[in-house]
Amino acid sequence: MVWKASKDPLLRGDHAGGVTPPAPSADNSLVRHILFLGGSGRETPYQSSTESQSVAERFAGKQGCVYEASVKEAKKQGVVHWSRKELLGLLKGPGKGKASWPSVYEVMQARKRVEQHSEHLLDFEQLDVEDVVCVCSTVWSKR
């Protein structure tokens, strides 16, 4: 079954206390975000999500929780949606746009992860930092 933005939710595994809020002004490289470069706790303007319930459950782990968001609601709140297909279009060769990156090897590793996890991103870069927590709680709900 093909995932459709108009009717299927985005899913995210995160801790039970709520989704981790992004930092709109953080480095906006897509490769840095997808490969988790910069170490544990690094800030990012993106939130990773997936089409797959089982992938979200794996990321939630035993003690976490799966959340869902509608693309339509996210866009209404000013959040940009990068679909899996769009990400794969950007993650080719040295990368295009925000996926441009000095190492093509790392662009390929990021591409692999997007495919393996059926990954989509929500991009909070255009939001004011003081709105982020409120928008997150509007966009995401426990599944």
Partner 1 sequence: MSPLLSCSNCWYNGLQYGPIGGSVGYCTEHRVILRAADATTCGRQRRKDLLFASAQRESNSHRATFPEDRIVYVRVARDGECIPANGTSLSKELEELESDPVGRSVVDFNRLDTKIGALAQLRNLLGARAELAMLSLGRSYVFRCSQRQGAWTSGLHLVWWLRQDRLEREPDLQINDLRWSQGEPTLRRHRELASWSLVMLRLAFLSDVATHARDPLGNALHPFAKLADLAEEAAVATQTTNLAKLMRWVRRDACKRLDAVLPASEYDRLAGELRQRARQA
Smallest gap, in angstroms, from Cβ of residue 78 to partner 1? 25
111 touches partner 1 by CB under 8 A: yes
The size of the interface with partner 1 (CB under 8 A), counted in residues, is 39
41 touches partner 1 by CB under 8 A: yes
Residue 17 contacts by C-beta under 8 Å, 6 or more apart in sequence? none
- Between 78 and 97, how does the x/- string for binding to partner 1 read (CB under 8 A)? --------------xxx---
Contact criterion met (CB below 8 Å) for 60 and 13: yes
Give alpha helix (H) positions in 44-83: 53-60, 71-76
Give alpha helix (H) positions in the chain: 30-34, 53-60, 71-76, 84-90, 104-117, 132-139
| Token pair for 89 | 């279009």
35 touches partner 1 by CB under 8 A: yes
Q: Give me the residues that bind partner 1 (CB under 8 A), please.
A: 13-17, 20, 35-41, 50, 52, 54-55, 58-61, 63-64, 92-94, 103-109, 111-112, 115-118
